[in-house]
Structure 1
Amino acid sequence: MSTSVRLQTAPQSPTALVPRPRWPARHFHGIGYVLAILLVGTNMPTALYGVYRAEFGFSPVTQTAIFAVYAAALVPTLFLFGPLSDRIGRRPVLVVALLAGAVGAIVLASAGSTAWLFAGRILQGIAVGACSAAGTAALLEHVPGRNPVRASRAATASTALGAALGPMFAGTVAEYLPYPTVLPYVLFTVALLPGVVALALLPPRAGGSSVGGRLIELPRVPRAVRTVFLLATFPSAVAWAAVGLFQSVVPSWMSEMLGVSNLLVGAGAAAIVMSCSVVAQLSMRGLDPIVAQRIGLALMVAGMAGVVVVDRVRNLPLLFVVAIAVGVGHGLAFAGGMQRVGTAIATHAPHAGGSVLAAFFTLTYLGTGVPAVAAGLLMTYQGTSAAIMEFAVATALVCLIALALNMIRRRDGAEKPDGGAREG
C-alpha cells in the first residue's frame, strides 16, 4: 500500500493583495477612546431616569418609549453610516458621531420636559449608530501588527467599558454633586475633547475605498463570511438581551427590594454586569472564540435561572453573584462573536468591513432594544416580578438555542479551530 503526499499552497488572503499603510499606534488608541466615551454618554441616562420621573412625572411606559426612540434612531443610522464609511472613509462618519453625541448631551442637560428627553435620546442613538460600525472597522484597519483579534477585543471592551462607566459616572455625580441632570452631561462634553483631537490626527480618507458603486447602500454580508457571521452574531445579540434585563428592569427591581432611592443602587447592578464583561474579554487571550461563546451562553443560562431564584428569595448577595455570571457570560459571548466576525472580515472581506459590522451591530443592538422595550411593557402591565420571570425564562431558552446551533455547526466544521472562516 502506497502513500501519496499532496502539497498545497495556502489560498492567498484578500488582505495580502491590498497593501495597507502601517498607521501609528496613537490612531488605534484614539479610536478606542472615541468608542468608549460615546458609549459612556449613551448609558448615563440609565442612572438618571429616577430623577427625570420625579421631575417630569412620566410613567414607566414613557420611559420605555424613550428607550425605544433611541433604538429606532440607532438602527437606521447604522444602516446608513456603516456602508458609507467604506466609501468616504472612517473619519467623516466618526466626526458626525461626536457631533451628535455632543449635541445630544446639550439637549439632555437643557431638558425642561419629557419631549427634550426624546430628542436627546434620538441624538444619542445617532451617535452610537454612526460610531459603532465605522469605529470598529477603523480599529481593524489601524491595529498595530494588523492583528484582527486584538482589534476585535478592543472594540468590544471599549463598548462594554462605556456601558459600565456611564451609569456609575452619572449616578455618582447626580447623587453627590449639585445639578444632577446637568453636571453629568457638562463633564461628558468636556471628556469628548480628546476624541476631537484623536479624529483630527486620523487620516481623512482612512478606510475609504476607490471601488465604484453607490455612495449610500444597505449593509451587506458577503457570501464568504455569511455562515460565520450568522453563527457568531446570534449569541452576541442574545448576550446583549441578557444585559438589557439589568439595564432596564433590574435597577427599579433592586430599589424596590431594598426600599432605597440612592441613584447608585440601580446603576451598580448594570455597572457590575458590564465591568465583569470587560474583565472577561480582557482575560480570554488564547481562548478559541467559538469555545468562548459556548461558555458565555452557558453562564447566561445559569444567570437567568439565578434571576428567577432571586425573584423568589429576594437575596441581594445572590443577585450580585448572578450579575457576575451574566457579565462574564456576556463578555465571552460578545467578544467571541466580534472576534469571529472581525477575523472573517480581515480574511475575506476587507473592503466591506463597515457594511458587515453595520449588520453585526444592527442585530446586536436589536438584541438589546427589543427585549428591553418588551420588559418595560411587561413591568408596566403585569408587575415587576412577572416581567422578570418571563424575561429570564425566555432569554434562557434563546441562549440554549444559540448554544445548540453553535455546537452542531462546529461539528460540521464550518470554521477552523482558531476562529478563522473557511473559503467559500
Structure 2
Amino acid sequence: MHTLDDLRAGRLRGITRLDLCQGLTHFPHEIFELADSLEVLNLTGNALAELPDDLYRLTRLKVLFCSENAFTHLPHGIGRCPALETVGFKSNRITRVEAQALPATLRSLVLTDNALEQLPEALGDCAHLQKLMLAGNRLARLPDSLARCERLELLRIASNRLTALPEWLWQLPRLAWLAYADNPLPEGFVAPASDGHCPTLSWQDIRLEEELGRGASGLIHRAHWSGQAAPVAVKLYKGSITSDGSPLAEMSACIAAGDHPQLVRLAGRIDDHPQGLPALVMQLIEAHWSNLAGPPSLDSCTRDRYPEARRLGLPAVRRLVAGIASVCAHLHGRGLNHGDLYAHNILFDTVGQCLLGDFGAASFHPPTARAVELLEVRAFGILVEELLGCCEQDDQALRELARACQQADVPARPTFAEVLSWVITQASLAGEPGNPHRRRSPH
C-alpha cells in the first residue's frame, strides 16, 4: 500500500500500479503526475464520492478500482479514459449509471452491492464487454441492448429483483458463467422449499480446530464431530453479499447438489450455532489434493491461470474430463447450474481424480430447461481446451468435443448427458474406464 506523502513527494514516479487507502475524500491531483506510467489505480476503502472529469489525462490507465467508497453514481470522467478496460465500484451507494460513464474499451464492469434499479441501454454498445458483475442491486430487468454484447462471457445478476430472465440471455454466443440465484423468479428457478435429505446436526457435537481457509462467503475450519472418528471440515457462512450472490443461496445449492463421487461429501447442516451462523459439516479434503489452476487475473479477465510447470498425462486429462462431465450431468439432472465451472474450483490429484467445489454462483433451474445447461456446456468446453493445453500429448477427439461445446450456435451444443454418454462410449472402446478414445465428438 502506498501513502499520500510518498505520492506528493514524487517518490512514486514511474510506477504502474498505485494503491491508496487513507480515508480520502477528494481525488489527489498529484496522481496525474503518474500519467506516463500508471496502468492500475486502486482507491478502494476511502470516502470518495467524485472523480475528476479530466480523468482521461491518465492515458495509460487500464484498471480502476473504487470499491467501498461513497459514490452514488458512476463518474462521467471514467467514460473518456482511452485505455480503461476494468472498472470496479463494488459496495458503494450507486443508484445510476449513465452512458457518459462507459469507456469504449470496457471489458469488465463490477457494480456488486450497490443500489442500482436500472442500467442504460448504452451498455449494449460496449462491444468488448466480457465480464459484468451486478449481484446485490435492485434491478428488476436487464437492458435488452445487452443482447448485442456478443463477447460477454461472465454475468452475475444474483440477489436482485428480477422476476424473469430475458430470452436473449440464452442466445449469447460466448456466455459461459451465469449466476442468478436469490431473485423472485418463477418456480423452478429458485431454491426448493425443502432440503429434508440433509441431516441436522447439533453444534454441541462439533469441536472447532484451526482455520483452513476463508472466502467471500465464509470461513472453513478443521473440526471434530462426535458422530465419527475422522476429522471433518465445517464451513460457517456469513451474511454479506459476495460478487456471486448470497452466501445462504450457496448453502442451499450445496445441500441440493446431493451425493456424487466428484463432490465433497456433506455430513449435515447446523442450525443452532451460538451466533446464529448457518453452517455445513463436510468431508475434510486430504492434503495431496490441489487446485487445478488459479483464478483469472486482471489481464486474463475471464480465463484461469495455470502454473507454467503444470503438465498432465493424457490418461489423467481423460479422467478429469470424464469426472467433470459426470458431475455436471448429475447437477443439471437435479436442476442446478454450477455457474462457476472453472479449473480454480476443481481439486485434483496426479492421476486425474477430481472434486468440484465452490457453489457460490450456483442457481436453480427446471431440469427440463435445456437453455441454462447449454451455457454451462460452453464453460466445460473451455475447460477441456485448457486441460489439453497442459497435456503432454494432443487428443484430436477431445479437441473436437471442446469445439462442439463452445460453438456459437447455442442450441446445437450437446447436453451434459450427451457428453457423458460419448465419454463412456469412448472409454469403453479404449478399454480404460473414463478414458475417451480418439473418435468423433457428439457433433
Q: TM-score range by the shorter chain?
A: under 0.3
For CA contacts below 8 A with separation 6 or more, give which structure has more relative contact order: 1
Q: Which has the higher strand share?
A: 2
Larger radius of gyration: 2
Relative to the length of structure 2, the TM-score reads 0.23
Question: Which has a greater percent of helix?
Answer: 1
